[in-house]
Structure 1
Amino acid sequence: MTHDNDINYRRIEQAIRYLEEHFKRQPELSQVADEVSVSPFHFQRLFTEWAGISPKRFLQFLTIDFLKARLQESRNLIEAAEAAGLSSQSRVYDLFTTLEAVTPQEYKQHGTGIQIEYGFHETPFGLCLLGVTARGICWMSFLQADEDVTQALHAMKEHWHNSVFHQDQELTKAFIGQIFPAKDRSQQKKLHVFVKGTNFQIKVWEALLRIPEGHVTTYQQIASSISNPQALQAVGSAVGSNHIAYLIPCHRVIRKDGVLGEYRWEPTRKKSILGWEMARQGL
């Protein structure tokens, strides 16, 4: 399954990699366009339509110095929210996504009796698989470069392996329209996710939801926020096992030295999402 939008996103990824690799010599637009096999005019338009800013400006968001400064800003924001108490915390964060977990009994039964509608859709970050239940979005994964739809579907079915699956492109398309609205984001509807995980994983995922768009945090900050500051490895594992990409924003967790680090759906995609979010925040 190959789509024009997915091909365009792969070009953007390729351009980001090239710009990073040749950052010191500041390649010209024509050189980047040549690398992704399109004309300079077409590449400039393609990238600016996607990010809202130029490729060079976009890359500034991904430098270690910028990300370190962003970490401090995020820490200050989160600490201020926590100091103000829970009632104002929700106003500070204005949580876009709310979370519900399976019950202990459902966890033991591995999803038995749960009906999941799914579909494959274009997003600003390439093709994704979306799974939806009556209780919320239960799966979102981006297809990787060497992955086909069968493999992506298998991963979802492994996670919810006793559930009943049915493809419904129209239903899931409506959710994609809510996740990535074409126009005014201020009118964006709140979304509800439905997760299956251990109590510890759920605490970590809830902490991820409190990281505002365009901000980043560290594994240490997440561990401290769930009152378990020594559990860095367990936090890293929980972040990596998140099964709802983008909405539970594990892409906003980076290393304390400002390095972005790994990402379940490819490291370059993590850079793409973070830079795209920061551009939308008008930084």
Structure 2
Amino acid sequence: MTTDLTLSADPDSLQNRAADYERVTAALDYLSENWRNQPDLAAAARAAGLSPHHFQRVFTRWTGASPKKLVQALTHASARKLLVDGASVLDAALETGLSGPSRLHDIFIAEEAATPGEVKSGGSGLDFSYGFAPSPFGSAVFLIAPRGLSGLAFCNRGEEAAAFDDLAQRFPEARFLHDDAQARDWAGRVFDAQAGEAPLPLALYGAPFRRQVWRALLAIPPARTVSYGDIARAAGREKAARAAGAAVGANPISWLIPCHRVLAADGRLTGYHWGLDRKRAMLAYEAATG
């Protein structure tokens, strides 16, 4: 018996998908070994045996990210660890194959809306506004950075100060300005938004895996629920359901980053930072208004 390995004209055929798997695997191996050299698209395409245009399309379809984005994520994760461990911004940039601090600055802004210096200093130099406003789920506490919303918490009346402290302790060296008017403006933008409006800017500060989990939460449609295992898989760590659960619990922006849509594997409501009664109310609210 003979086997015909000729590739089909249909890019989605089984033969082509099998060939693409081998090419993408080769490219992932190449990028994982060589990201410190900051390889360009042409170099990664050569490793896969494809033209740059074809490789970009195939790689993005298989991984959900461009080759450039993957190199950027690997660079950011390594540089972040170096900074937290005490390296200077210049040393972190050079150690990760970048030309200098300005390039590292661009990567950090793109990845977590914080500069390398802000990450290294634990929030020193960051200025936040915060305030309180009514919401469909009790009193809402907003933490607002210059680049977008960094925190949204809920509490019962009279517990606002404790809810603010819970958000603020994530940035022990930052400065905070009380501004309820700005919080009420954000409450209107969050809870009275019209369909089709542009997404609100979010300024997420956190370690790479946590931000991967928070991005996975953003992909859950309204009135739908998933398990912690589903979130771990979506974040690229299939066997890390417990770690994904911890990252879900550390989500600083309730409602907009919908951690209330994550349930236990058996469908039970578990582990909501702002209370299971509020989680149940959010799911009911979405079911009724969706």
- What's the TM-score bracket when you normalise by the shorter of the two chains? 0.5 to 0.7
Question: Structure 1 residues 120 and 103, CA, compared in 2 at 3 Å: closer, same or farther?
Answer: same
Q: Which runs of 5+ in 1 are unaligned?
A: 1-81, 88-97
In the other structure, the counterpart of 2:21 is none
RMSD (Å), alpha carbons: 2.4
In the other structure, the counterpart of 2:246 is 237
Question: Structure 1 residues 246 and 208, CA, compared in 2 at 3 Å: closer, same or farther?
Answer: same
In the other structure, the counterpart of 1:122 is 134
Per-residue deviation, residues 14-49 of structure 1 (Å, max 9, x unmatched): xxxxxxxxxxxxxxxxxxxxxxxxxxxxxxxxxxxx
Question: Structure 1 residues 103 and 166, CA, compared in 2 at 3 Å: closer, same or farther?
Answer: same
Looking at structure 1, the residues matched to 171 and 178 of structure 2 have their Cα atoms a distance apart, in angstroms, of 15
Per-residue deviation, residues 105-160 of structure 1 (Å, max 9, x unmatched): 42221111111111101000000110111100011111147x62221222222112
**Larger radius of gyration, structure 1 or 2?**
2
Are 1:142 and 2:142 counterparts? no
Q: Following TM superposition, by how much is the alpha carbon of 1:222 offset from its aligned partner in structure 2, in angstroms?
A: 0.9
Match of 2:215 among 206, 210, 214: 206
Quick check: 1:223–1:235 contact (8 Å CA) kept in 2? yes
Q: Secondary structure at the match of 1:140?
A: strand
Are 1:109 and 2:118 counterparts? no
Q: TM-score, normalised by structure 2?
A: 0.59
Match of 1:266 among 268, 275, 278: 275
Q: Secondary structure at the match of 1:165?
A: strand
Quick check: 2:140–2:155 contact (8 Å CA) kept in 1? yes
- Aligned AA for 2:241? L
Per-residue deviation, residues 176-207 of structure 1 (Å, max 9, x unmatched): 101000xx731544111112211110110111
Count of aligned pairs between the two proteins: 187
Per-residue deviation, residues 37-66 of structure 1 (Å, max 9, x unmatched): xxxxxxxxxxxxxxxxxxxxxxxxxxxxxx
Match of 1:185 among 185, 190, 194: 194
Mapping of 1:158-197 within 5 angstroms? 158-181=169-192, 185-197=194-206
Q: Of the two structures, which has the highest relative contact order with CA contacts closer than 8 Å and spacing of 6 or more?
A: 1
Q: Following TM superposition, by how much is the alpha carbon of 1:86 offset from its aligned partner in structure 2, in angstroms?
A: 4.9
Q: Following TM superposition, by how much is the alpha carbon of 1:102 offset from its aligned partner in structure 2, in angstroms?
A: 2.7
Mapping of 1:81-100 within 5 angstroms? 86=64, 100=112
Q: Secondary structure at the match of 2:142?
A: strand
Question: Runs of 4+ in structure 1 displaced over 3 angstroms?
Answer: 82-87, 98-101
Match of 2:289 among 274, 280, 283: 280
Quick check: 1:136–1:193 contact (8 Å CA) kept in 2? yes
Looking at structure 2, the residues matched to 265 and 253 of structure 1 have their Cα atoms a distance apart, in angstroms, of 14
Q: TM-score, normalised by structure 1?
A: 0.61
- Aligned AA for 2:138? G
- Aligned AA for 1:154? D
